[in-house]
């Protein structure tokens, strides 16, 4: 009888594990700092300082537009904010979604496609956040990128249902349920900025899948040449 001591992480693509560990590691660091274990008295303010420097803020975007000064340190917010979260529960849910959806997307497409979908969706979601609504709370956390992965997952289901003749609307059941829950809470608290960012991420992830899915770029080039 042989004992199987293989790690469960062996079945998850390394890129998915790396991104999840990075997000979880930062959150653990902030938790330890808040408890006074790291950084001493200064550690208590680490999370606040990080959110101040890297969260996506509508007022910062408006300042850049008004002054036509797109400083690199301010633009960095749009790619750094998915790594930072408001608390343990916030980060934990993002990591869970990343491990589950990231595994599916990376295996169906590729690890590079997984990373591209996550970060481009987060970027587009952040741009939607600052351009569509005037939101006072800052945007932080990996949900827009996760919603991009939900878009890719919906694309995978959409293609599968198309091949089997099933109703393709079923591919969008997950996003419909999640957005309905978010809309309920947004209505209660009067904050719709996160919904705009997440929906922007979902649409981006779904559309990117047409190019990043296996053979997608080739099909795109064929259509362009036919025109």
pLDDT of residue 1: 40
Of 55, 49, 52, which Cα lies nearest the Cα of 33?
49
Topology classification of domain 8-226: Rhomboid-like fold (1.20.1540)
Assigned token pair, 129: 């956040």
Specify whether the CB–CB gap between 158 and 108 falls below 8 A: no
pLDDT in tens, 143-171: 999 999 999 999 999 888 877 766 677 77
What's the average model confidence in pLDDT over 102-121?
Answer: 95
Specify whether the CB–CB gap between 43 and 34 falls below 8 A: yes
Of the chain, the percentage scoring pLDDT greater than 70 comes to 86
DSSP for 168-208?
Answer: GGGGGHHHHHHHHHHHHHHHHHT--HHHHHHHHHHHHHHHH
pLDDT in tens, 44-88: 889 999 999 999 999 999 999 999 999 999 999 999 999 999 999
The pTM of this model reads 0.87
pLDDT in tens, 3-26: 444 555 558 999 999 999 999 999
CA 201, CA 227: separation in Å to the nearest integer?
29
CA 162, CA 64: separation in Å to the nearest integer?
45
């Amino acid at each position: 009888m042989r004992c199987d001591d293989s790690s469960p992480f062996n079945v998850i693509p390394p890129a998915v594990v790396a991104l999840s560990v990075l997000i979880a590691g930062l959150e653990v660091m902030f938790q330890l700092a808040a408890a006074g274990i790291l950084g001493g008295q200064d550690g208590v303010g680490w999370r606040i300082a990080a959110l101040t420097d890297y969260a996506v803020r509508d007022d910062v975007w408006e300042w850049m537009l008004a002054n036509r000064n797109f400083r690199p340190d301010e633009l960095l917010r749009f790619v750094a904010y998915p790594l930072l979260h408001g608390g343990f529960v916030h980060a934990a849910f993002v990591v869970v979604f990343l491990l589950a959806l990231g595994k599916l997307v990376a295996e169906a497409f590729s690890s590079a496609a997984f990373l591209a979908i996550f970060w481009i969706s987060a970027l587009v979601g952040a741009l939607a956040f600052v351009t569509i609504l005037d939101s006072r709370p800052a945007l932080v956390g990996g949900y827009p990128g996760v919603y991009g992965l939900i878009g890719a997952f919906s694309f995978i289901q959409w293609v599968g249902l198309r091949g089997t003749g099933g109703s393709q609307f079923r591919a969008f059941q997950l996003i419909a349920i999640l957005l309905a829950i978010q809309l309920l809470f947004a209505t209660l608290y009067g904050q719709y900025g996160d919904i705009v960012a997440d929906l922007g991420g979902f649409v981006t992830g779904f559309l990117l899948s047409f190019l990043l899915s296996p053979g997608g770029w080739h099909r795109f080039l064929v259509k362009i040449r036919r025109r």
